A and B are shown apart, each in its own frame.
Chain A
Amino acid sequence: MSQLGQHPSDRLIGELIASRRAASAEEIAQIVERMATAPFSSRVVRVPMKERGAAYQGQILTARAPSLVYHLVKRVVIEEQWARGTTAARYLADLAQAVRNPAARLVIYERRGQRVAATITPTGRVIPATRLGIDALPELLVVYSADSSMIVTGYQFSRLDQTGVPGEALWLK
């Protein structure tokens, strides 16, 4: 298990996962606020082979890419969940709006030794149809790592059981 991030919400997420106690409304609001204001991962990540060469808005994926660039190209060009024209800023704003949306559900769990918080929001509550890609899906997942204090992914899906959210995850709302 890696170390938790420095933000108070990171320690709260870690404590809730460890104790599995019920979270108060204030604690839930604190986690949501942290997720909505957290930066996207600033790490450089490896790009899977078949996704190398994909290009968007002047950026071409090679063997390594900044995580935000990788996710933007993946979501717009490779998976076509967001429409062409979506910028990194717009993608991030969509994820933040999804986290803050009153309809968002909030869940915390461990994944690959990291403690994460995730929200699930109906896509239509956040993204207008004109900005959706041709392979848009009805739910929008945003994942925050309490170990790195950063948003680590955001994508659309149709079936929760395929997202990797484990059965023992703790649903806070």
Chain B
Amino acid sequence: MNTEKIAAQALKQAAERLTPDFRQDALSAGWPADIVFQMTVEENDGNLYLAYPNSIADKVQNLEYGNFEQAPNPVIRRFIRSHTDGLDDIFESAFEDVASELGAFN
């Protein structure tokens, strides 16, 4: 039983579920759709991160942190904060599955 593999798999599935959640949050906050639909939540080496092309990096940063023309509109920070507990649940659930498969609850 490879626990790391199971955790990574759980994270990968979480990333797929989180991408539409993030996009919904960003659109609701008024971020432009052409930026939002280039952004995805991805998993790599046990970490979740927000991926977007370098070509929109400045625009994303300006939306999130503001600049001398616009106030900050912190969708990314809000998203991370609101989903931290959910990620704990994902790990918990993954390890419960592992424990269950190992017969811990028999």
* A and B assemble together: no
